[in-house]
Amino acid sequence: MELEKNDNEIAGILSLKKDQDKFFIDLLGVNSNYRRFGLASVLLSKAIEWASSFDGSIYSYTQGENIIANRFYQKNGFITKGFKLIYHKIFR
């Protein structure tokens, strides 16, 4: 399969938040029509390159049960530093 350019569609996005010399991935998403081409890895690589130009480090938070995201970050050199459980309460 070959990736075709479509100017009317966003293929992917990565946004960062900065806190002093640390950058946090706020959002990383790839349009389902553009998955399996390595676009997420390219976006992440560019973000790492950009942050390093400011002598910064990149961090990511993702849900523990999001196996796909966790594997993606590990494959791209991220190290799991810890887990935090967040509970949501439904108010009725």
pLDDT, one tens digit per residue, over 16-54 is 999 988 999 999 999 999 999 999 999 999 999 999 999
Q: Write down the CATH number for the domain with range 1-92.
A: 3.40.630.30
Residue 49 DSSP code: H
Does the predicted model carry a pTM greater than 0.75?
Answer: yes
pLDDT at 57 over 80: yes
Say if residue 23 is exposed, middle or buried (CB neighbours under 10 Å; 0-12, 13-18, 19+): buried
Say if residue 73 is exposed, middle or buried (CB neighbours under 10 Å; 0-12, 13-18, 19+): buried
**Which residues lie below 8 Å from residue 80, measured CB to CB, with a gap of 6+?**
70, 74
CA gap 48, 77 in Å, rounded:
11
- Residue 23: what pLDDT? 95
**Which residues lie below 8 Å from residue 54, measured CB to CB, with a gap of 6+?**
21
Percent residues over pLDDT 90 in the chain: 58
